[in-house]
Structure 1
Amino acid sequence: MTAMYSIGMLSRFSGVNIETIRYYEKIDLLRAPGRASNGYRQYDSASLQRLAFIRRGRELGFSIDEMRELLSLADHPERPCADADGMTRAHLDDIDGKIRDLQRMRRALRQVADCRGRTAEHCELLQALAMPDASSTSRPSADTPRPFR
């Protein structure tokens, strides 16, 4: 006989909270389960495996739409792996871009960390934030209010 799980047990075993499970059902990422005679949801081991698959994919940063495609591939094992490989490469490119952005932010924050100014007027972070953006094409006019002054 197949093991059956309540939504609480499914949540505990999968590591996915109950509201997220209900949301995944609502958006058809997880199939709606059968109901016991008392009306409670009853999930089988296939639901637990599918939910664990979704959780792992989401932990890797795949979007809901990407998970939908990955689940479609998993549900059709005869399909070529090239689609999953393409998604993986695109996701890696996105992650690399985010890492570059984070490193840039880190460098900028390190430049203003440990400010020696005693007051906000001399705070290096506030001065850096008040500087016009070098990539901006518009120049502030003489009557443009200066922040933090």
Structure 2
Amino acid sequence: MSRFTIGKVAEAAGVGVETVRFYQRRGLLAEPSPVRTLFREYPESTVDRIRFIRRAKDLGFTLAEIGELLALSEIPHESRGKVKQLAEQKLVAIRQKLVDLQQMETTLSGLVQDCSGRGSLDGCPIIEAMIHEPTKCDHRGN
């Protein structure tokens, strides 16, 4: 089995050394011990684990959720049900974000259309809407 220094792991996974260290601090990667040299060496599987983390992040999973997915992936007889449930929950959250973004786009588009872009800020519809109107796109009160 090949072993890599932190620089080689980072390079092979397409991330920086600090990213590898960050994932270690977050508990997503195990801290390697010095093996044959003074340098800490990582197993080859660390590269795949980092790629997994990056892909999951690209799909919108948080680091905590990724930790849960990684833990599930290490249980040989775990059913796919829990993984699917986590993915379904993420999908619902993404769809809600899309609805929120569409509402934001509609509101801001209207404000931009209402603003001439000329003159002083007195009566500017964009500024006035931010001062006097509740945020229409934030239906959760955040």
Aligned to 1:125: 126
Aligned residues: 134
Rg bigger for which structure? 1
Q: Which has the larger displacement, 100-109 or 30-39?
A: 30-39
**In the alignment, structure 1 residue 60 sits paired with structure 2 residue 79:** no
TM-score by length of 2: 0.84
Counterpart residue type for residue 121 of structure 2:
A
Q: Which has the larger displacement, 88-97 or 45-54?
A: 45-54
Gaps of at least 5 residues in structure 1 are: 136-149
Deviation at 1:132, TM superposition (A): 3.7
**In the alignment, structure 1 residue 14 sits paired with structure 2 residue 13:** yes
TM-score by length of 1: 0.80
C-alpha distance after superposition, 1:112-139 (max 9, x if no partner) = 115214211132201111224288xxxx
- Structure 2 counterparts to residues 87-126 of structure 1, below 5 A: 87-114=86-113, 115-116=115-116, 117-126=118-127
- C-alpha distance in 1, partners of 2:45/2:68? 18
Give the secondary structure class of the aligned counterpart of 1:34: coil
From the superposition, tell whether residues 107 and 26 of structure 1 become closer, same or farther in structure 2 (CA, over 3 Å): same
Would you say the 8 A contact 1:16–1:55 is kept in 2? Answer: no
C-alpha distance after superposition, 1:51-88 (max 9, x if no partner) = 11111111211112211111111111311100000001
Flag the structure with more relative contact order, 1 or 2, with Cα contacts below 8 A and sequence separation at least 6.
Answer: 2
Indicate the percent of aligned positions where both proteins have the same amino acid: 28
